Structure 1
């Protein structure tokens, strides 16, 4: 179970690396297309999404610490924290932005949390 938890946590981390890139360095090219924004709307939300990308980067950091911290107890705590934050943010995004966020963000985080709990 531990290996499965680590694999799914890694997938969640990679999803969020992609989100960070979309919200920051790739926003003007790929990001606004993925988010379905017009040029005018993109110009308005760009600063907020860049800030959001920074926060998503912190989630990636917590997940990475959960995967690579040498002490198992501390690693598990980081993984739980990061995954719980992803799940909560995904629920909020699903309620306020787009329902598909529940599938892309919340579901994988919840699966990973369950696997960590069973490990």
Structure 2
């Protein structure tokens, strides 16, 4: 695993750790409401359990990527980067928000490219 690949994987892992924090702990706070464009504080309260679940999954993605770096295991890195890419594609499609694709999938795709070149 090259240094550049490790840096890009670490970046994706940090992004997903940040998503965990936003979704699990800041969803009903002004930062979470603004970040996700939620329509109201009441809506945020109604959906906070779903958001926390989503945040937990982002935490698992982050943990898997960190594990791949520690173990220097390209196959584990590829698996989790592909998961991140697919999640970003689906999230962008289902929410009709292309920014999600750029924020989530593109960094993972760049990391994958460095693995395969």
> Are residue 59 (structure 1) and residue 46 (structure 2) matched?
no
> Are residue 80 (structure 1) and residue 78 (structure 2) matched?
yes
> Are residue 32 (structure 1) and residue 33 (structure 2) matched?
yes
Partner residue, 1:105? 104
Structure 2: tracts of 5 or more residues without a match: none
CA offset at residue 33 of structure 1?
2.1
CA offset at residue 14 of structure 1?
0.8
Residue by residue, what CA displacement relative to the aligned partner does 1:73-92 show, whole Å, maximum 9, x if unpaired? xx111111110000000000
Output the TM-score relative to the length of structure 1.
0.90
| Cα distance in 2 between the residues matched to 1:80 and 1:61 | 14
Output the TM-score relative to the length of structure 2.
0.91
Task: State the SS of the aligned residue for 2:25.
Answer: coil
- Which shows bigger deviation, 38-47 or 7-16? 38-47
